[in-house]
Structure 1
C-alpha cells in the first residue's frame, strides 16, 4: 500500500480530525511537515497516533521541501487564497478546508486563477457531501421522487458550547473567518444548490448579536449540574477567554430567504445557542416531501398522495461532533479521488458558488436590502471566461 507523504498548512483542530479519520479508514500516511505557530490540532494527532512531522517556519519552506502526495490547508479562512496560490505553485494535489475563500473579491480572483492556470487537483472539505444521508437525499431528488422542488425550510441550531466556542475562536471576526453563516452553513447551501441545480436569484436576510455580547446582564455561565459553561474546547489561534466579552463582530443568529433561478423558495434559520439542537432540511416538491434530520441521522420521505406510513431510514452512527461518520466517508472519497477510482463528490466550482450565495445573504443582512444576485453571478462567470488575446498578439 502506498504511504502518502502529506504537508499541512495550519494544523488546527479541524484538519487534525480529518487526518485522524484518514488513518482510521485505512490510509497509510506520513505527516512529513507542518506550518503552524500554535498547532492546536496536535493533541488530536497524538490521540490518533500520528506524528506531527517537522515544523517549518512558513509555507514557502515547507513546500520547498516537497514534493508531497497531498498538501492539506487548515489555516484560518483569510489565509486560504494565499496558501492555495502557494500550493498551486508547488504542483501537489491539495485538500483545503471550507469555506474555500472568504470574500467575493477572493472568489473572483481564485476563479480567474483556476480558469487561466493549469492547477493541480483541488479537493474542498465540504464534508456533508460525503454523508450517507445526504447522498440519499440527493439521489432521491435526482430520481424525481419529489417532483419539481417548490419550497424548503432548513435550520442550523448549535448547542451553547459550540456557539460559545465560535464566540471565542478566530471565527468570531469577519477579518479572519468571514461570517458566521459562511463558516457554518456553506455546507448546507452547497447541497441546496446541488438539489435545485440552480443559483440563488434573490436573497434577503436579518440577523445580529443577541446572545454573545457584553451588554447582556448576568449571562448564565454554569450548567444545571454545576459544571462551568463555554469552556469545552481550546479557543485556538487568536482565541478570546470570554464568549460574552470578546471582540466578536459576526452574527450569533440569522435568518434568510432565498429564491433560486429554478423557482425553489427557501427559508433558513440559524442560531448559535439553543437547548434543542437541530440541523434539518424539510423539502417539499410537487410529488412528495422529504425530511432530513442531520443531527439524529434520520430520513423520512413520502409521496404526495400516499396514505401509507412515510418511509423512514435511520442511519444510526451518531457521533458527538454530529458529522455522523462523514469525516470517515470523506477520507475514503479523497483516497478514491487520489487513486483515480472515482471523482471527489464536490468541485471547487461548487464550493465557490455556495460561498457566493452565503456572501450575498450576508450582504443583504448588512445592508437591510434584498439583493439581486444577477450582477454577482455575471462577475463570477466573467472570471471563468476564456481570455481573448489582444489583436496582433500571439496567443
Structure 2
C-alpha cells in the first residue's frame, strides 16, 4: 500500500502513523508540504516533491492523503481525481464555501465519488456505532427534536485563535472547521438535511480585556502549538473567526435542533440528546457515555465508554483507531462501504456555511435552492 500526502501537520501525521501501525505494509512514497512540521511521524526519508501533480505522477500511490489547510483542499482533490490514483482521503472540512462545494460536486459527478473518502471521524465512534444499531431496531422511532453542543477548553480555543484556522479565508470559519463533525452526525440521525437555519454569536472571550494577567495563566493558552501562519497572542490576534455560537436548525423531515458551541469552556463536553417518538438517546463524547431510554421509561442501553480498552485509544474518543481500521478493511475489500461518504461531508459543510451566513446576515437562511442545485449533480444514489 503506497501512500502519498499533501500536508504533514499534526493531524495528518497522526492519522498516517495509525495507518502504518495497523497496516505494516504501508509505504510512504512522497509528500508535498512547503513547511513539513511533523515529517518524523511518517519518516524523514520520505521523498519530497514540489507539487502535488508531480508527486502523483511519479509515485503512483494507492492512496493520496489530503491533509493540508482547508483552503487548498479543492485544488489538491482535483489533482487527485484527474490522476489515476485509485483512492483519495481528505480531511474535513472538505471545502470552504458553497461555491467550492458545487465545484467539487461537478468534479465528483464527472470522475465518480467512490474514490474519495473523508475524515469525519465521529461517524466511526462507538457512540455512533451503538446509536445506529438502536435506531435500526426502531428504538427511538421518528426523530422529533435534538439538542447538542461542542464546548472546547481554553487551551484548544486559544489554538484556534493563534493558528491559521483563525482566518475564515483559510478555514471557512469555526462552525465549518470544528463543528462539521457534529452537524454531520445530526444529518445522519434525522436522515435528512437542514431546510432552514438561524444563528447568533460573536467573539466574546478572546478579547484584549480578557487577556491573562500572569505568566502562569498565559501558559494555558499555549499548550497546543501551531506553526504555519500562526500568531502568538490569542487575545490580540488578527483572526476573524468567532468564539461562541448558538444555532437552531429545522430539518427536511420536520425535526428541529438547538446547537451551541463555545471555545472557552474549562470543563469540556460534547453532548447530545436525541428525542424520538418512541424513545430518546443522550450521550457525551468527552465524558464517555450513551444512554438510550424507551418511552415507557425502560433503559434499552447504558454504555460507559470511559473504561476498558476504548478509553485508552486516545484521539477523538477512540474513533481515530476505528476509522483507520474501517478504511483499511474497505481498501482490502473486506467492507463494502464506510459509515460516511464524501457527499455526507459536503452536505454537513453546507449546513455549517449556511449557519454562518444566517449569523452574519441576521436572518433565517433557507436552503431549498442550494439543495436543488446540489441534488441536480446526481451524487446521491
TM-score clears 0.5: yes
| Alignment equivalent of 2:338, drawn from 325, 344, 348 | 344
Q: CA deviation at 1:24?
A: 2.9
Q: Distance in 2 between matches of 1:243 and 1:320?
A: 30
What is the 5 A alignment of 1:182-201?
182-201=176-195
CA contact (8 A) 2:30 2:59 kept: no
Q: Distance in 1 between matches of 2:240 and 2:221?
A: 18
Provide, for residues 163-204 of structure 1, a one-character-per-residue CA deviation record: whole Å limited to 9, x for no partner. 010111111101000010101111111111111111111100
2:282 is matched with 291
2:33 aligned with 1:36: yes
Q: Distance in 1 between matches of 2:53 and 2:195?
A: 40
Q: Structure 2-normalised TM-score?
A: 0.93
SS at match of 2:100: helix
2:225 is matched with 234
SS at match of 2:206: coil
Q: Distance in 1 between matches of 2:160 and 2:313?
A: 17
Q: Distance in 2 between matches of 1:80 and 1:132?
A: 28
2:317 aligned with 1:324: yes
Q: CA deviation at 1:227?
A: 7.3
Q: Distance in 2 between matches of 1:146 and 1:120?
A: 31
Higher helix residue share? 2
Moved runs in structure 1, 4+ residues, more than 4 A? 220-223, 319-322
What is the 5 A alignment of 1:195-214?
195-214=189-208
2:53 is matched with 60
CA contact (8 A) 1:283 1:290 kept: yes
CA contact (8 A) 2:205 2:264 kept: yes
Provide, for residues 274-297 of structure 1, a one-character-per-residue CA deviation record: whole Å limited to 9, x for no partner. 011010111111111111111122
2:128 aligned with 1:138: no
Q: CA deviation at 1:116?
A: 2.2
2:235 aligned with 1:256: no
Provide, for residues 325-379 of structure 1, a one-character-per-residue CA deviation record: whole Å limited to 9, x for no partner. 1111111111111112211221111111111111111110110100111111112
CA contact (8 A) 2:343 2:379 kept: no
Q: Distance in 1 between matches of 2:214 and 2:378?
A: 49
What is the 5 A alignment of 1:164-179?
164-179=158-173
Q: CA deviation at 1:142?
A: 2.7
Q: Distance in 2 between matches of 1:368 and 1:313?
A: 40
SS at match of 1:185: helix
2:15 aligned with 1:18: yes
Change (3 A) 1:220 1:279: farther
Q: Distance in 2 between matches of 1:380 and 1:374?
A: 10
CA contact (8 A) 2:212 2:218 kept: no
Q: Structure 1-normalised TM-score?
A: 0.90
1:265 is matched with 256
1:393 is matched with none
Q: CA deviation at 1:117?
A: 2.8
Q: CA deviation at 1:118?
A: 4.3
Q: Distance in 1 between matches of 2:228 and 2:45?
A: 18
Structure 1: give runs of 5+ residues left out of the alignment: 387-395
Q: CA deviation at 1:26?
A: 3.6
CA contact (8 A) 1:88 1:119 kept: no
Q: Distance in 2 between matches of 1:119 and 1:286?
A: 35
Change (3 A) 1:158 1:319: farther
Q: Distance in 2 between matches of 1:336 and 1:311?
A: 28
Q: Distance in 2 between matches of 1:34 and 1:134?
A: 33
CA contact (8 A) 2:23 2:328 kept: no
2:373 is matched with 379
Q: CA deviation at 1:220?
A: 4.9
